[in-house]
Amino acid sequence: MKQDLGSPRTKQDVLHALASLNARELQFWLGIEPERFIRPFGEAWSPADTLRHLIKSTVPVTRALKLPRLAIRVLFGQGWDPSTPYLDLVKRYRAVLAAGGKAGRFSPSPVRAPANVRAWQESLVAECQSAVLALSAAVVPWTERDLDRCRLPHPLLGKLTIREMLFFTLYHYEHHRAIIAGRLVSDGRGDGELLINIL
């Protein structure tokens, strides 16, 4: 069941995509064998590190959305141009990555996996679910107009409208899930084949 975000535009589209993403993320990340969940792909992040990166990237967006609109405008300026469509933003982000863009301060910090990896895996998935649910709740009070008028800084893409930041967040989850699924398959292990059925 491969997730298809289509091309979200409205606040309702974003909320629907977040709800769908949350349900599918649980199935995907819990479907990885615990031993494989914590093992890096050479120099690349492990599935556990990737999931921690996604959580680390989502929480600040939620915190920002809870700030007063005026405070956001004073801190980051006001948007005047229409928000970039979802697919155009995706294309721009991919180009930045192709040019060498990195996660920087949003990289997962080094951590030692606990003895009970499965319990930790379930805990991280639950934390991810909570992060996405909190983001959804933070989006609800925003009007369509304010989604385009307020901006936030992105470490790779510069100033984005709130709508664009939400588009990025949605794609960010899909992007990393696809990377991990592909690496699991390339790894030549049975759990990779299992994940194909989940996608």
Contact of 129 with 22, CB cutoff 8 Å: yes
DSSP string, 25-88: HHHHHHTS-HHHHT--BTTBPPHHHHHHHHHHHHHHHHHHHTS-HHHHHHHH-B--SPPPPHHH
**Threshold 0.85, pTM exceeds:** yes
Instruction: Map out the domains of the chain as residue ranges.
Output: 11-108+115-198
**Overall fold of domain 11-108+115-198:** Four Helix Bundle (Hemerythrin (Met), subunit A) (1.20.120)
pLDDT computed for residue 188 by the predictor: 59
Alpha carbon of residue 62 to chain centroid? 12
Q: What letter does residue 150 receive in the DSSP assignment?
A: B
Alpha carbon of residue 12 to chain centroid? 18
pLDDT computed for residue 128 by the predictor: 95
Contact of 174 with 5, CB cutoff 8 Å: yes
pLDDT computed for residue 161 by the predictor: 96
pLDDT computed for residue 5 by the predictor: 62
CA angle 166, 3, 180 (to 5 degrees): 90
pLDDT tens for the chain, residues 1 to 199? 344 567 899 999 999 999 998 877 778 999 999 999 999 999 999 999 999 999 999 999 999 999 999 999 999 988 888 899 999 999 999 999 999 998 888 899 888 889 999 999 999 999 999 999 999 999 999 999 999 999 999 999 999 999 999 999 999 999 999 999 999 998 755 443 443 333 3
Per DSSP, the chain holds a count of helices (H) and strands (E) of 9, 2
